[in-house]
A and B are shown apart, each in its own frame.
Chain A
């Protein structure tokens, strides 16, 4: 049992198809128990049915309606700034179908109540706004009427009934009608409120219609704070129009309607106006009190609902999931039995059984559900059990393709190789340290981060262990490259010494120093190079050497090739593990062995050359370039004056190239020919049988049809094999070259780091003019820090992450990974609630 559990990390779990039979009464509880367990995937037994033809579609609709009501409630709560209680951790019991009705009733009642309250609230508010408008209208028209009164008082005495006004001669009239200052005209008036932005158009229309036979006065309503909260930011104007005649007033009324101006009847005498004003003020006070009460009542109802809303929403989601699952099952004719087919891991069958028993006990039914394992030819889903550490790595593998059922899982190896390849490209212990500390912070604050529902923080939290490993490995490779913010550490003492270059050991004098700009340390001079290389990593003397890049490039390129070939060899060996597991011994002989030989004889030999050249001592002016050696080996170009690294090099190389070339036809032809031979054999058997039967023409025609199908099949096989062979052979070369990106990115990172130091921090360090220099240094250090994080950590980090990922997905995995499975998606309430919270 323990062995099985551990094996699941290396390949996906063994799954079985099982049939479940349970009673309709206990169905609800059983499925809810399985949902809490989260280990069971239900298969769709009604694939032909559309969503509307399924059995429980009404219940699903009910659940959706309840969800809608819950969303509406949540929105109302957010609008009124009511805090929703945080979700409690206890498991909610899913209500059985009987309780669903009660819950539904509660929801509907709440919704109706809330809608009504909102309606009333809006109506009351509208009323209040109108009253406020009228109040400001009354106050402003006071001024107009006073103006009119004053004008009248200096002219003829007013008449008793309708309001009279003198028309001043300030009005411009096109017709220059007889409007005299002394004339007494009987005028009516219309008062109202209009939006300020519409007022100029309104005025223009009135002018066009009445040619100036009216007086228009307007003033802006002072926007008090209360007015603004109730009505909103729109500004309104009060206007009053004095016109002659009723007919004209009707026209004006229509114009006002067109401009959505609200008209209010204004009494004529001052006494009446005062009375109306006080009336309005009283009514406004009442309305304000009613509004406050309404708001309090609403808040009370929402607060009561806020306590339960999480619990309710969890219940509704679970119910919807259960009904959805029931829709996938088969209900038999008597309506008493439900049949379901599930995929579940073999090692968890007892857990599933226990969950079913618990479910049926809860529902009180006497019959225990039956779990019946069935054999099937269908391909099961791929299930990889992960913990919070391996989950991140499994996700990035699955992003490229979910593994075929039971093929080897690259994720455990990726936990080491991926951060390592990243670190080879990132290689700086200062940046690695910052990255590690960042990862530690994210890990400790993971819960806090999960609460902010931001996509970026989700990605960071999901990959926190990946970032931690990447940082730790980067510190290691940074120590090997001896690079910390582009400076080297000299912990163990450099192996190079400058003093022996001077007389009497070496060729330099004091004058050499003054004469030359660049000097070269010659390791042949005794004492310059101590003979023992630096203990760990690159010697710190290279940091101040001007030919640093020449040395490092050669080193990093060779290292990339070695790492690449090793990684790919590892991939090829993993394919062997796959062949052994699937008992495919034929493929081991005709695919794995030729591929291995091809790869080792060419690229394994290249790696050997690199390491051999590093180990032997060759004079640098005669040392052959490994690249040229390799190219000449492939072209069979052996000239007599060429320098060989070892004596039998020519013979060995010819042998290796010939072997590799021989492997190509083996890969191309052997497997298809074997398939052809087995098919011929089966055909002969079939032919023999059919000759014995005497069906004559029919069999032959069906047989020739069969033969035609077979030849088409054989073409497919040959082409398929050719594609795979070419992909592998050419891929070997191109993938090996592709690993050179390890060198390229690490060079880019080192150079960027050095440029940042030189352009930013060095300016601050070299600045030494008295008092200001520490302050300048502090400021420039802040700039250095920010740029390091932004450019070197984030940008270069993402870039290196992407390239390391590509190396895994393409160069490593195309040696063994098929990736054509589908993911195991169990019914899991935890996952459902978590995804819905985001």
Chain B
């Protein structure tokens, strides 16, 4: 069991806090991207030709929005995994602390 512990208590706690923040913020960003919020226009990687598309106006932009949104959701899932890992580390650290005393 000891070999599973690879970071100290402080690093694990920081990791846990960062992952909770990451999950919440990236999930919200994902929601805002998939609802095509105008404020986030700068964050969408559109190119000049997407603007000049006459047949289906705005559809390429919306598709890009959705793509970025899905990226955000996947990143949030990555942070869920990191959060669980950090939580395990925190628990292992606490157990190690109790064992010594």
List A residues at the B interface (Cβ < 8 Å). Answer: 434, 485, 487-488, 490, 514, 540, 543-544, 758, 761-762, 765-768, 773-775, 777-778, 781-782, 785-786
Contact = CB atoms under 8 A, between A and B. Distances in A.
B22 A765 contact: no
Given A773-B71, A774-B75, A544 B43 contact: no
B18 A785 contact: yes
Nearest to B33: A765
11 contacts: A434-B21, A487-B39, A490-B37, A490-B39, A514-B52, A544-B39, A777-B26, A778-B26, A778-B75, A778-B79, A786-B18
Interface of B: 18, 21-22, 25-26, 29, 37-45, 52, 64, 67-68, 71-72, 74-75, 78-79, 82
A785 B79 CA distance: 13
Given A514-B52, A544-B39, 7 more contacts: A434-B21, A485-B25, A768-B71, A778-B78, A778-B82, A781-B79, A785-B18
Nearest to A761: B43
Contacts of B39: 487-488, 490, 540, 543-544
A485 B25 CA distance: 10
Nearest to A510: B54
Nearest to A485: B25
A126 B78 CA distance: 61
Contact of B68 (A487, A514, A768, A785): A768
Given A487-B39, A544-B41, A762-B42, A775 B22 contact: no
B18 A782 contact: yes
A438 B42 CA distance: 31
B73 to A, nearest CB: 8
Contacts of A773: 71
Contacts of B29: 765
Contacts of B18: 782, 785-786
Contacts of A487: 39-40
Nearest to B41: A544
Given A544-B41, A766-B43, A774 B25 contact: no
A778 B29 CA distance: 13
A726 B74 CA distance: 65
A777 B72 contact: yes
Given A768-B67, A782-B18, A777 B75 contact: yes
A773 B29 CA distance: 15
Contacts of B44: 765-766
Given A543-B39, A544-B39, A758-B42, A785 B22 contact: yes
Contact of A774 (B21, B43, B78): B78
Most buried by A among B52, B74, B82: B74
B68 A765 contact: yes
A774 B22 contact: no
A514 B48 CA distance: 10
B26 to A, nearest CB: 6
A434 B24 CA distance: 12
A139 to B, nearest CB: 40
A613 B34 CA distance: 42
Contact of B26 (A485, A775, A781): A781
A423 B67 CA distance: 36
A785 B21 contact: yes
Contact of B71 (A762, A774, A785): A774
A781 B18 CA distance: 9
Contact of A782 (B22, B38, B41, B74): B22
Contacts of B37: 490
A781 B71 contact: no
